[in-house]
């Protein structure tokens, strides 16, 4: 199988990779670049566990080919904390029990980050609709949504 040489930026670091044409961005992140923070739940776009931000747009890494990411700027969960300093969303989700098993958490955090970059002061309903593509089997969503709203408030300095 012919491999494609791609270069991409992930969380500000430049990477070179050889990818097979049918390999998704999710496979590329996890298996080629060994960035396993991004999770695979379904591989068909339904669960949102693989949510990443590509060139500023929130999307499922499983619904994009690795070759399509050539030249792209990708943001993943690995870039969220700055060293030891957690992002306010990460802190809020820990403090308000917004996670249990944790499999959905990286995707939820990336989706929530994209939301707050667009809308720093979302209502609860807007937050619920925005996160509708992120399935969570554990929390019942209430604590998740609360965590996002708490973080939003903190980030606004309110």
Partner 1 sequence: MSELRYEAPESVSAAVALLAGAKGMARVLAGGTDVIVQMETELIEPELIVDIKKIPEVRGISAENGGFRVGAAATGMQICDHKEFARTWPGVIEGVKLIGSIQVKGRASMGGNLCNASPGADSVPPMFTAGAIARVVGPKGVREVPVEQIPTAPGKTSLAKDEIVTSFFFPARPKRSGDAYQRFTPRTEMDIAVTGVAINLSLDDKGVCTAARVAIGAVAPTALLVKDAGAALVGTKVDDAAIEKMVAAARAACKPIDDKRGTKEFRIEVTGVLAKRVAKAALERALANK
Interface residues for ligand FAD in 30-69 (CB under 6 A)? 45-46
The answer to whether 127 touches 149, Cβ cutoff 8 Å, is: yes
**Interface with partner 1 (CB under 8 A), residue from 57, 83, 84, 157:** 57
134 binds partner 1 (CB under 8 A): yes
Give 31-36's long-range contacts (Cβ < 8 A, gap of 24+): 32/66, 35/10, 35/76, 35/78
Instruction: Scan for tokens 């720093």, then name that residue.
Output: 120
The CA-based angle 81-83-84, given to 5 degrees, is: 85
Q: Near ligand FES by CB under 6 A, which window of 2-10, 13-21, 67-75, 101-109? A: 101-109
From the CB of 46, what's the least distance to ligand FAD, in Å? Answer: 5
How far apart CA 18 and CA 40 sit, in angstroms, is 21
Residue 101 binding ligand FES, by CB under 6 A: yes
If binding is defined by CB under 8 A, does position 132 make contact with partner 1? yes
Q: Which of 80, 86, 103, 155 binds ligand FES (CB under 6 A)?
A: 103
Contacted entry of partner 1, ligand FAD, ligand FES, none for residue 68, CB cut-off 5 to 8 Å set by kind: partner 1
Of 58, 41, 56, the residue nearest 112 (C-alpha): 58
83 torsion bin: left (phi>0), alpha (psi -120 to 50), beta (else): left
Closest to partner 1 by CB, 95 vs 117, is: 117
Binding site for partner 1 (CB under 8 A): 1-2, 4, 20-22, 24, 43-46, 48, 51, 54, 57-60, 62-65, 67-68, 111, 114, 129-130, 132-134
């Amino acid at each position: 199988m012919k491999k494609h040489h791609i270069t991409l930026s992930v969380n500000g670091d430049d990477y070179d990779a050889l990818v097979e044409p049918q390999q998704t961005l999710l496979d590329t992140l996890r298996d080629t670049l060994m960035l396993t923070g991004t999770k695979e739940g379904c591989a068909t776009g339904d669960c949102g566990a693989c949510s990443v931000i590509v060139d500023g747009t929130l999307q499922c890494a499983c619904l994009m080919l690795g070759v399509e990411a050539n030249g792209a700027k990708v943001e993943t969960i690995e870039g969220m904390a700055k060293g030891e300093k957690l992002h306010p969303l990460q802190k809020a989700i820990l403090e308000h029990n917004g996670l249990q098993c944790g499999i959905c958490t990286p995707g939820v955090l990336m989706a929530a980050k994209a939301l707050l970059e667009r809308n720093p002061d979302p209502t609860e309903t807007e937050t619920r609709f925005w996160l509708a593509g992120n399935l969570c089997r554990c929390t019942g969503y209430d604590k998740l949504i609360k965590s996002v709203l708490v973080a939003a408030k903190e980030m606004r300095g309110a």
